[in-house]
């Protein structure tokens, strides 16, 4: 046993010591019986990242927000989204059960964007929302994005020195998953139902290599316990396989939340020397089988959720907002508390 722990410790050190610093997040997909699918994620960040919940109907006219050479589109599907600073959609689910999650990835390097060139652009802040607006399934999104019909255009987060570097994960109501990363200026797509867990860094190909090692280690004997991305990946993978296999929506949601909380970083953790240990700000569990979107802010004592059965996504319906960024407290099914609002503007150039 002592030899086992020594071997594990050496491998963990090798996998994490050279890992670049990053703001941390974890995403996982639960595949249960009777086509039960839920996606959970934590939003971990080194600075406060205030979130509000939004209801976006079908038929919204959108722009890529990068100047005259921006793409334009009209939303095909309605969605519920969590915003960041009301300038971006880092998380959300549309009415077909497609879930989009954006997570930090330091290694991201996007193609050069020519504002006067032939390739139009899309601000990175709207990347997730574009997917929610346009696709019902992961396969549809993969077929579209892999041809790179437009450039993803990034910029600094307003008021900070943080240049936005994220990768995008999508999952759908069938349990299919895909991760989209820009490595060395090239789009890399990882597409498989087996890709249930991802964190921020390292790039997903390396995350799979780390998982292949830990698959040989009995989780009941040893699990890595730090807040580093590689350790969170291992714990999320292990516990995702251990939680109850059920089609009961209440138990399934509670089980997924329990795993997301296990891989969350305690509030107040994080120093300038180790920004990769960024505390969790909020958590989401999206029930793609029953179309319920759960949201939990760590600074408030309750979980709120939106049952899509109570939402009007028709093209003539108003955009609605549930303000949560000033410490507002709600509990339970909250669709009745959303108020009509002008849509926020995605941060662009």
Asked if residues 308 and 289 have their Cβ atoms less than 8 Å apart, the reply is: no
User: Minimal CA–CA distance to 335: which of 311, 302, 300?
Assistant: 311
Q: Which residues contact 212 (CB under 8 A, 6 or more apart)?
A: none
Measured distance CA(131)–CA(148) in Å, rounded: 13
- Residue 203, Cα to own-chain centre: how many angstroms? 15
Residue 10 exposed, middle or buried by CB count within 10 Å (0-12, 13-18, 19+): exposed
Burial 95-126 (b: 16+ CB within 10 A, else e): bbbbbbbbbbbbbbebbebeeeeeebbbbbbb
Helix residue ranges per DSSP H, the chain: 2-16, 127-134, 138-145, 204-214, 229-242, 249-262
Distance CA 135, CA 61 (A): 16
H or E element: which one contains 340? strand 339-340
- Smallest CA-to-CA distance from 345 within 131, 100, 62, 102 is with 62
Q: Which residue among 15, 25, 230, 311 is the active-site one? A: 25
Count of other CB atoms within 10 angstroms of residue 77: 19
> Distance between CA 93 and CA 247 in Å, rounded?
20
CB burial readout 202-233, b (16+ within 10 A) else e: bbbeebbebeeebeebeeeebbbeebbbbbbb
| Size (the chain), residues | 349
**25 among known catalytic residues:** yes
Measured distance CA(234)–CA(225) in Å, rounded: 9
331 to 11, 27, 50, 297: CA distances (angstroms): 43, 24, 18, 11
**Residues with catalytic function:** 25
């Amino acid at each position: 046993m002592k030899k086992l722990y020594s071997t594990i410790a050496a491998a963990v050190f090798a996998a994490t010591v050279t890992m670049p610093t990053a703001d941390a997040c974890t995403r996982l997909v639960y595949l249960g019986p009777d086509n039960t699918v839920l996606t959970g994620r934590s939003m971990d960040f080194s600075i406060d990242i205030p979130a509000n919940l939004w209801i976006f109907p079908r038929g919204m006219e959108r722009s890529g927000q990068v100047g005259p050479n921006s793409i334009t589109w009209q939303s095909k599907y309605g969605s519920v989204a969590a915003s960041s600073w009301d300038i971006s959609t880092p998380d959300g689910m549309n009415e077909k059960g497609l879930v989009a999650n954006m997570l930090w990835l330091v290694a991201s390097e996007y193609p050069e964007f020519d504002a006067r060139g032939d390739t139009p652009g899309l601000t990175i802040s709207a990347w997730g929302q574009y997917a929610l607006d346009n696709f019902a399934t992961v396969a549809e999104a993969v077929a579209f994005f892999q041809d790179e019909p437009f450039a993803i255009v990034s910029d600094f987060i307003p008021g900070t020195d943080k240049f936005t570097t994220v990768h995008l994960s999508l999952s759908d109501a069938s349990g299919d998953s895909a991760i989209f990363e820009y490595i060395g200026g090239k789009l890399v797509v990882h597409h498989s139902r087996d890709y249930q867990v991802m964190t921020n860094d390292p790039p997903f190909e390396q995350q799979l290599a780390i998982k292949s090692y830990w698959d040989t280690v009995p989780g009941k004997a040893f699990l890595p316990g730090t807040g580093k991305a590689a350790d969170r990946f291992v714990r999320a993978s292990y516990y995702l396989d251990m939680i109850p296999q059920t089609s009961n929506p209440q138990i399934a949601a509670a089980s997924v939340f329990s795993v997301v909380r296990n891989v969350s970083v305690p509030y107040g953790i994080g120093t300038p020397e180790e920004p990769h240990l960024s505390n969790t700000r909020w958590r989401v569990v999206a029930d793609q089988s029953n179309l319920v979107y759960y949201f939990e802010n760590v600074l408030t004592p309750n979980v709120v959720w939106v049952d899509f059965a109570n939402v009007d996504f028709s093209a003539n319906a108003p955009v609605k907002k549930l303000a949560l960024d000033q410490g507002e407290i709600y509990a339970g099914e909250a669709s009745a508390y959303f108020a009509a609002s002008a849509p926020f503007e995605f941060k662009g150039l």
